[in-house]
Amino acid sequence: MIEKQKRITGNGFEIVPQELAPVYAHIRKKVARKLDRLRYLAEQKHPTKEEQAEVPRVLREIAWRTSEEVKDAVGAYNFGLRQSRYTIVNFQKSFGHVPPQIAKTNAEIEQGEIVASCVSSAIVHTMILPELQSKMGVICMPEHVTAAVKIHGKTYVLDPNALYQNKRTPTLSEYVTQLVEAHGNSNLLLHTLARCIVPRDNATRSNFTGQMRYFGGKNSSIASALNNWGSALALSGRHNEALGYFERAIRLNPEQPSAYTNWGSALNSLGRHEEALEKLKIGMSKIEHFSARYNLGLTLFNMNRINEALPHIRRAIELNPNETNTRGLLIDALRRVGKRSEAMEEERELHRRPGNH
């Protein structure tokens, strides 16, 4: 059984005292039996076929139960993927702190909403699974982080979006296959996520695997949660508070690209452009993705280094041609350097895009 501790996590990541957030202790108690079984299965050096087949089922039950308990704690009874938005107020009341991830569109932030599946995922890999030690890890992708577990030579992905459509936890290979299928099919649950990871119109397995980085061990899990926490604070406009979370995340996992990008973005919002540039370049050196390119371009634009900004802005558009803010930034940059005819052509292209008529 899980022994009582002063702090909920027991892994060095002090989120909040137990007396302020009894929901965490409640969730751990609910999944304690399944965790015991998972630990037993993971420790088997020569597992039977039946035991190997049981692992993905037990993992799914742990993740699913956690998700359901998060739902109940914040009073969201109509729980479906497209309705899984809970208010920040209810979450903070139940858990004693800001949620670890907030929806990223301005309209959703203004309404005070959070993405439930991301929150439950963050709780799974910070509250529930770190005691698996080296078997626990995270898979980092642009705009998305999900818990992962390596058992018996297989990597299982605990993405809540994937768990909804499976009776068992998918392996990494199965998860990539599902993302490829969902990329071109808006009826599949993973469609939005797949388009977020690979924004271009066509996607292959290598497009997805090229954007994925696996980091093992509990420190990587904690670093991921700290990065999510910082993102939530930054999206709420609390940029100064967010900086410390990004710094701690990178101290635990210096290879996490999105933490550098998020750190740089927060510094840029505070007007600390030189520092922002340094962090963004480090993130960009680890993996090229849209957010890093866009934020590099934006930071250089804010520093009035327009000619340096332009290649980054153009590359960001190549990576995500349907993102209208980037094209708007390009139009402003072109006007600043006197390229008015190019700016007018980009403006026409912007209006030709769906939803911009």
| Residue found under tokens 């699974």 | 129
CB 30 within 8 A of CB 124: no
Per domain, the residue ranges of the chain are 18-216, 218-352
* Inter-residue contact 104 to 83 (CB < 8 Å): no
How much is the pLDDT for 4?
A: 29
Whether the Cβ atoms of residue 232 and residue 99 lie closer than 8 Å to each other: yes
Q: Extract the runs of DSSP E, i.e. beta strands, from 57-191.
A: 85-87, 113-115, 136-141, 144-151, 154-157
- Give the Cα-Cα-Cα angle 148, 151, 157 (nearest 5 degrees): 25
Looking at the domain 218-352, which fold is it? 1.25.40
The candidate with the shortest Cα–Cα distance to 98, out of 15, 221, 220, 12, is 15
- The string of pLDDT tens digits covering residues 76-114 is 543 333 333 445 566 666 666 655 554 444 444 444 445
Give the span between the Cα atoms of 302 and 310, in whole angstroms: 12
In residues, how long is the chain?
Answer: 357
pLDDT of residue 13: 30
In this prediction, residue 97 carries a pLDDT of 61
Which pLDDT tens digit goes with each residue over 231-246? 877 877 889 988 998 9
- Residue 18 confidence (pLDDT): 34
In this structure, are strands 213-216 and 136-141 parallel, antiparallel, or unpaired? antiparallel
Q: What is the pLDDT of residue 119?
A: 60
Contact 268, 302 (CB under 8 A): yes
Supply the pLDDT for residue 37. 93
Q: Rounded distance, CA 250 to CA 247, Å? A: 5
What's the token pair of residue 320? Answer: 């995500």
- pLDDT of 219 reads 79
- Determine the pLDDT at residue 347: 87
150: β partners: 155
Please identify every stretch of the chain with a pLDDT value under 50, giving residue numbers as ranges: 1-21, 77-86, 102-113, 357
Position 221 scores a pLDDT of 73
Burial class (CB in 10 A: 0-12, 13-18, 19+), 119: buried
Q: Strand 85-87 to strand 144-151: parallel, antiparallel, or no bridges (unpaired)?
A: unpaired
